[in-house]
Structure 1
Amino acid sequence: MNARDWCASALHEERIAQALWDLAEPTPTKVRAILNDLGYVDERIHDLKQSGAATRFFLDLRDKGGRLCLEGSAAGEQTVVDKCVAPATGPFTAGGRKQ
């Protein structure tokens, strides 16, 4: 992950987590609506699915050769959004978390 991705990840993580924090009953439909309202288009939202009380998702944020993606779990006060890496080119597939 390059320096640009690293810096951008913190801004995206905070913005999304704050928007999802107070979401009651985070269903995939509600999570998608919030992500869309934040400007993330459907083509960038992947694997949006219910997992128990949480809704999990990936966001493809690759831009200009970057590899940034985010992995999220919307679960009210237990909401977590963290950076991950994706291939620089080709179809989106999420890789592991990159610290």
Structure 2
Amino acid sequence: MNARDWCAGVRHEQRIAQELWDLADPTPTKVRAILNDLGYIDERIHDLEQSGTTTRFFVDLRDRGGRLCLDGSAAGEETVVEMCVAPASGPFTPEKR
């Protein structure tokens, strides 16, 4: 991951986590709505799936040869959003989860 991805990744992690922390019932529909409200389009949101009270997801943030993506789990105050990497081109396939 290059320096631009690293810097941008921290900002994306923080803004998404902050919005999801207060979500009492993080269903895939509600998580997608929050991500959309933050400006992330559906084509960049991957693998939204609920397990118990947690919804997991990826956000593809690859741009101009970058490899940045986010791996998130929305679970109220237990929400975690972390950077991950994906191939610079081709289909979205994150390397961490």
Judge same fold: TM > 0.5, yes or no. Answer: yes
Q: Could you tell me how far apart the structure 2 residues matched to 1:96 and 1:46 are? A: 14
Q: Counterpart in 2 of 1:62? A: 62
Q: Could you tell me how far apart the structure 2 residues matched to 1:64 and 1:47 are? A: 23
Q: What CA RMSD, in Å, does the superposition of the two structures yield over aligned residues?
A: 0.8
Q: Could you tell me how far apart the structure 1 residues matched to 2:6 and 2:51 are? A: 28
- Residue 80 of structure 1 aligns with an amino acid whose one-letter code is V
Aligned runs of 1:35-50 on 2, under 5 Å? 35-50=35-50
TM-score, normalising length from structure 2? Answer: 0.98
Structure 2: 5+ residue stretches without partners: none
Aligned runs of 1:1-99 on 2, under 5 Å? 1-96=1-96
Helix, strand or coil at the partner of 2:8: helix
Helix, strand or coil at the partner of 1:92: coil
Q: Could you tell me how far apart the structure 1 residues matched to 2:52 and 2:60 are? A: 23
Give the total of aligned pairs.
97
Helix, strand or coil at the partner of 1:88: coil
- Residue 47 of structure 2 aligns with an amino acid whose one-letter code is D
Structure 1: 5+ residue stretches without partners: none
User: Identity percentage over the alignment?
Assistant: 79
Shift in Å at residue 96 of structure 1?
Answer: 2.3
